[in-house]
Amino acid sequence: MTRFDHLFQHGLEELAEQGRLRTPRSLQPRADGLLEKEDGTVLVDFSSNDYLGLRAHPLLRERALAWAERYGAGSGASRLVTGTAPGMVALEARLAALKGMEAACIFSSGWQANATLVPALAQLSLAATGAAPTLIVDKFIHASLYHGCAAAGVRPLRFRHNDMEHLESLLQKADAPGLKIILTESVFSMDGDRADMAALGTLARQYGAFLCVDEAHATGILGADGKGLADGQADLIIGTFSKALGGMGAFVASSSAVCRWLVNKGSGYIYSTAPSPLVLGAVDAALDLLPQMDATRQHVAALAERFRQHMHHAGLETGPSSTQIVPVVVGSERTALTLSRMVEDAGFLAIAIRPPTVPPGGCRLRVVLHGNHTEAQVDQLAQVLRDAVAKCAVEGAL
């Protein structure tokens, strides 16, 4: 105990009253895409971001062990000290090619990459123009990008989600001498919708803005050979290994000059131990598999559309989803938690998403489709949800 535990306990009790208390729990992943609870109960995983079902793929495990055998379990230090192995250099070249860029720079996590990127770009603006940048961001960007804005000491201008007219109006008004930077995502993780990449690229070029696109939820699962959706429109792309690629970590892909700047000014790169060779070996294997997985990507897209149709026929809202992420928007924290428990009791994991991750009144079950799901599992989940919603309505829990 500490002398201040009563303050923390008070805060936790308030979160519980609001239906926003979160508690980690033990779930054992299995190779077949299922999850096992401590009591032996098996759940079909409709919550993780393992879009292609690669995290248990034998090739990823074999390559991880091979890299550990060659380079060791850990990297030893920051890459600028002792942490860069030849395999990592070659892997960065592969990632740059995946995104059609000159260079790439690996980070330990997507959060670290985003939180590092924005301050480093702000320093570039100050060094090159003598003025802080103008950060223009989609309202729904990830919390890590907002954290980067705060760390940079720059208050961002937010445009309405995917509203290109509003973005253009902010670009027109941005007359400060600093660098204009647009921060957005190609796929948004809570709504499963896509940005208009062509329009974003056109506006960035027209107004001389530096376009940064987080492709965490597109890399590997969307686009030709899983290359994502940026399609040559962005000046800089952030990608992660922890979703469709089945591993852990992230990268920034851009020009050689941009990546060299990050090596010199990115605090998360300079002051953090480099990722484990075990992790990077798995990524290397995942990149081998991506070009061969068109059928899996098509399967996931078909399952997502099938589930959306089930929800629409049941009168349930899935928002603007057009990807493997399908939100079932139900409103309150109480409703979302109740439905999530009922779904789990039926053998499926579909986690309730609550504020601050989504706006108040926008609570949802975030259903994620994977390559190892079957049509039968999707149909069963849809039926369970329909029955659960009907029961909640009768009992007044909606």
Residue 397: Cβ-neighbour burial (10 angstroms; 0-12, 13-18, 19+): middle
Considering 99, 217, 299, 373, which one is annotated as catalytic?
A: 217
For residues 326 and 318, give the distance between their C-alpha atoms in angstroms, rounded to a whole number: 6
What is residue 221's three-state secondary structure? Answer: coil
For residues 86 and 240, give the distance between their C-alpha atoms in angstroms, rounded to a whole number: 21
Query: Does residue 50 carry a catalytic annotation?
Result: no
Query: Does residue 217 carry a catalytic annotation?
Result: yes
Query: Does residue 57 carry a catalytic annotation?
Result: no
For residues 237 and 366, give the distance between their C-alpha atoms in angstroms, rounded to a whole number: 25
Q: Are strands 348-349 and 325-331 parallel, antiparallel or unpaired?
A: unpaired
Helices (H) and strands (E) in the chain, counts: 13, 14
For residues 110 and 251, give the distance between their C-alpha atoms in angstroms, rounded to a whole number: 7
Angle at 136 between CA 216 and CA 223, to 5 degrees: 30
Considering 48, 125, 189, 242, which one is annotated as catalytic?
A: 189
Considering 227, 243, 370, 373, which one is annotated as catalytic?
A: 243
Query: Does residue 185 carry a catalytic annotation?
Result: yes
Considering 57, 142, 227, 370, which one is annotated as catalytic?
A: 142
For residues 174 and 210, give the distance between their C-alpha atoms in angstroms, rounded to a whole number: 13
Query: Does residue 294 carry a catalytic annotation?
Result: no
Query: Does residue 391 carry a catalytic annotation?
Result: no
For residues 313 and 101, give the distance between their C-alpha atoms in angstroms, rounded to a whole number: 43
- Return the number of other C-beta atoms located less than 10 Å from residue 289's C-beta: 18
Residue holding tokens 């959706």? 229
Within 13 Å of residue 176, how many CA atoms lie on the same side as its CB?
Answer: 17
- Dihedral over alpha carbons 307, 308, 314, 317 (to 10 degrees): 140
Considering 45, 47, 48, 49, which one is annotated as catalytic?
A: 49
Closest to 189 in 3D by CA, of 299, 303, 340, 49: 49
Considering 92, 193, 214, 333, which one is annotated as catalytic?
A: 214
For residues 299 and 278, give the distance between their C-alpha atoms in angstroms, rounded to a whole number: 29
**Core vs surface per residue 19-31: b (16+ CB within 10 A) or e:** beeeeeeebeeee
Query: Does residue 189 carry a catalytic annotation?
Result: yes
Considering 45, 50, 185, 235, which one is annotated as catalytic?
A: 185
Residue holding tokens 């260079």? 103
Q: What would you report as the CA-atom Rg of the chain, rounded to the nearest whole angstrom?
A: 22
Catalytic residues: 49, 142, 185, 189, 214, 217, 243
